A and B are shown apart, each in its own frame.
Chain A
Amino acid sequence: MIRIEGLERQAGTYRLEIERAVISSGLNLVVGANGAGKTTLIELLTTLQTPDAGDILYSGRKAADHLPLIRSQIGYVPADIELYGDMKAGKLLKYMAELKGVYQPEAIDKLIGDFRLEPFRKSKVKHLSQGVQRRIAVVQALLASPSFLFLDEPLNGMDAEERKFLITYLTQYAKGRMVIVAAHELNEWEEATDNVIWIHRGRLRYNGSPQQWKLSVASSVWEGEVDLSDFERIPQERLIHFQMTDERMKVRLMAKKQPGPEFLEKEPTLEDAFFLHMDALARRG
């Protein structure tokens, strides 16, 4: 469990401020628009950044007092990481394992097997595809089986199969541990998410179950097919998703009331809920 108390950190033009929050074990999804403060929050939680004020407690331990202990329990996959290209994948993971104080080769071999990296063990990292490099980046974070695992946009560069595998793996891993994922593509995490953390302009707007997050929206989600001429009349800010089908447009939009007889109300997804919450904030000004 992570407890945040009076956390403050200046990050560029905005200030991240979280008065009080508790993050429990399970898979936590950090959502927010670009520049909202997701990465700053993750870097604070990983101890890579220090707070200007306030404290973060990791199962009762303060980072300022127990940093090596806490770091022994932290794994991190940054959004942008350029692994050492001239090193072979196996050698790089061995180097990272030793750097983290993990000396059992079985621990590395198990992860290499789980993430199907065996064929690439002796290949130089720079010759591997982006998806494989991303898998290596995830494996390095898992080397010490950390209690707190942080992943910033982990699905970037992965193909559909790799994405599905990673989400399934993390769902299992999060049982009894804490996994915190910052993501833009929310629907992929729909089934896996135990908790949603919504950051908006440096403030914590929501920290709770995904069900409650979806139920607490002010508008509804509607889906239907319309003619192109009707589609053009729909205000852009109402649209969530649209797709051309023959001469008509399949539209998913948000509205308080049914926009027309051709529209049916749909249960909001995580991504819909995000749009609806953002829309409600924009309306409030």
Chain B
Amino acid sequence: MDHPFDRELGKLEDELRGPLRRAILPPPTPEETSRLIASLQGEFDLLKVEPESPKLDFNPQVDPPSLKQILRSQLRLNQRSILLTSSAVFLMLVLLIDPAYPLDHFGGLPGGIFPLITPLLLIVSMLFSSRTWDKGMRAVETLTPYPPALVLYTRLLLVTGIVTGMALLSTIVIGFKSMQAENSTFLFGPFVLEWMGILLVTGGAAMYMLFRKGMIASLVSAVLVYGLWIILQGQIMDHGVSMSGKMATDIVLLIIGVSLLVSSYGRSLKWNAASWRAST
């Protein structure tokens, strides 16, 4: 029997079939489910994060950084090649220099051979020892708990120390030879000041630029300082500057050199994101 309510219900169903079909979405396909899960992976990962997980601390196995300790570690690194090379160069200088006139100009260039060669040796040694050529070793040596530039600074400081030490030793030998020579004009103070002034200002300029503008700028500035010094020596020679005037110039150079080295140390301790980017 056909009840009027059933007819009405049937009619209503017929009317709603269209709108309901549009409202009911088909079930998602497996691919759609996979895509949804993949897109939510990041959110799932975040759920893994424990909100109260402790912050990372400095490794308790590691001693806090200090210049003394890094210098000691760098001494362990094989410095033999630099020591041997500089020994050979300074032995050659000791043999070449006339003990009677050690400050005489060499090969038409202003300045004695000793202050001409010493800064060059320093530049070459710095280049040689600043970083290892092997990428892998460079990587593991970079991953230290110290500010990245501090390790480089100690390495260069050590090289400067070796070259300065060798130069001082050679100066003493030359001094002894001069004492034995007849009519010797050797004056220990001016001789040491002459080479040490240019040596430290060259090394200081190189390090100063290294921590600000990088390795290439460092080398360029060292060579530039060295070139300017040769010009300055020429001017001093042309104008017949007195010994005391020349010593004053060398003392100024020495002070500038030491100031640059100290300033570079301060810079190497400073840490910021920019220096990290520059070091990678």
Binding site for B on A (CB under 8 A): 1, 3, 19-22, 24, 43, 46-50, 58-61, 63-84, 86-87, 91, 94-96, 98-104, 107, 137, 140-141, 144-147, 207-208, 216
Measured between beta carbons, the chain B residues less than 8 angstroms from A75 are: 143
- In angstroms, Cα B61 to Cα A79, docked, is 26
Alpha-carbon distance between A59 and B276 when the two chains are bound, in angstroms: 20
Indicate if the CB atoms of B277 and A50 lie closer than 8 Å. Answer: yes
Please tell me which one of the listed residues A71, A76, A87 contacts residue B145 in the complex, with CB atoms under 8 A apart. Answer: A71
Contacts A64-B276, A104-B61 known; list 6 others, CB within 8 Å. Answer: A19-B42, A60-B53, A65-B273, A71-B143, A78-B140, A147-B59
| Chain A residue with the shortest CB-CB distance to B54 | A59
Distance between Cα atoms of A74 and B140 in the complex (Å): 10
Query: What is the bound-complex CA distance between A254 and B67, given in angstroms?
Result: 59
Q: Given A1-B53, A81-B136, does the pair A69, B143 have CB atoms closer than 8 Å?
A: no
Within 8 Å of chain A (Cβ to Cβ): is B64?
A: yes
Among A60, A81, A87, contact of B55 (Cβ-Cβ < 8 Å): A60
Do residues A101 and B145 form an inter-chain contact, with CB atoms below 8 A?
A: yes
A-B contact pairs, 7 of them (CB 8 A): A1-B49, A48-B139, A59-B54, A78-B135, A91-B76, A140-B140, A144-B59
Chain A residues within 8 Å of B57, by CB: 69
Contact with A along B27-58 (1 / 0, CB 8 A): 00000001000000110011011100111111
With A49-B280, A76-B139, A101-B69: A22-B48 Cβ-Cβ less than 8 Å: yes
* A63 with B276, Cβ < 8 A, contacts A22-B48, A68-B146, A140-B140 known: yes
One of A60, A64, A87 near B273 (C-beta < 8 A) = A64
Contact partner, A144, options B45, B50, B61, Cβ 8 Å: B61
Q: Which residue from chain B places its CB closest to the CB of A98 in the assembled complex?
A: B73
> In the complex, which residues of chain A have a beta carbon less than 8 angstroms from the beta carbon of B136?
78-82, 137
B142 within 8 A of A: yes
CA distance A80 to B166 in the complex (A): 36
Question: How many whole Å from B211's CB to the nearest CB in chain A?
Answer: 15
User: Could you tell me if B45 and A72 are in contact, using CB atoms closer than 8 angstroms?
Assistant: no
A86-B78 Cα distance, complex, nearest whole Å: 8
Pairwise interchain contact B41-A207, C-beta atoms closer than 8 A: yes
In the bound assembly, the distance between CA atoms of A101 and B137 in angstroms comes to 17
A104–B61 Cα distance when bound, in Å, is 9
Q: How far is the CB of B265 from chain A (nearest CB, A)?
A: 16
B106 to chain A: which residues have CB within 8 Å? none
Take A48-B143, A58-B56 as given contacts and tell me if A103 and B276 are in contact as well, using a CB distance cutoff of 8 Å: no
Which chain A residues border B77 with CB–CB below 8 Å?
Answer: 84, 95
- Give min CB distance, B249 to chain A, whole Å: 40
Q: Looking at the assembled complex, report how far the CB atom of A63 sits from the nearest CB atom of chain B, in whole angstroms.
A: 7
Query: In whole angstroms, what is the CA distance A80 to B140 when docked?
Result: 11
A68 & B76 in contact (Cβ 8 Å cutoff) = no
Q: Check B116 for interface membership: any CB of A closer than 8 A.
A: no
Instruction: With CB as the reference atom, state the residue of chain B lying closest to A205.
Output: B38
Give A69 to B271 CA distance when docked, in angstroms.
12
Residue B2 lies at the interface, judged by CB distance under 8 Å to chain A: no
Residue numbers in A under 8 Å from B59 (CB-CB): 72-73, 101, 144-147
Instruction: Decide yes or no whether B134 CB sits under 8 A from chain A.
Output: yes
Set B50, B58, B140: member contacting A69, Cβ < 8 A: B58
* Contacts A68-B147, A145-B61; A81 near B140 (Cβ below 8 A): yes
The reply to whether A100 and B62 contact each other, CB–CB distance below 8 Å, is yes
Contacts A69-B56, A73-B59; is A84 near B137 (CB within 8 Å)?
A: yes
For B76, list chain A residues within 8 Å (CB).
91, 94-95, 98
In the bound complex, do residue A81 and residue B137 qualify as a contact, i.e. CB atoms below 8 Å apart? yes
Nearest-Cβ distance from residue B48 to partner chain A, whole angstroms: 5
Residues of B within 8 A of A74 (CB): 143
Contact B62 A102 (CB under 8 A): yes
Between A49, A68, A86, A140, the greatest number of chain B beta carbons within 10 A of the residue's beta carbon is seen for A68
Please pick, from B42, B78, B276, the residue contacting A84 in the complex, using a CB distance under 8 A.
B78
- B17: CB under 8 A from chain A? no
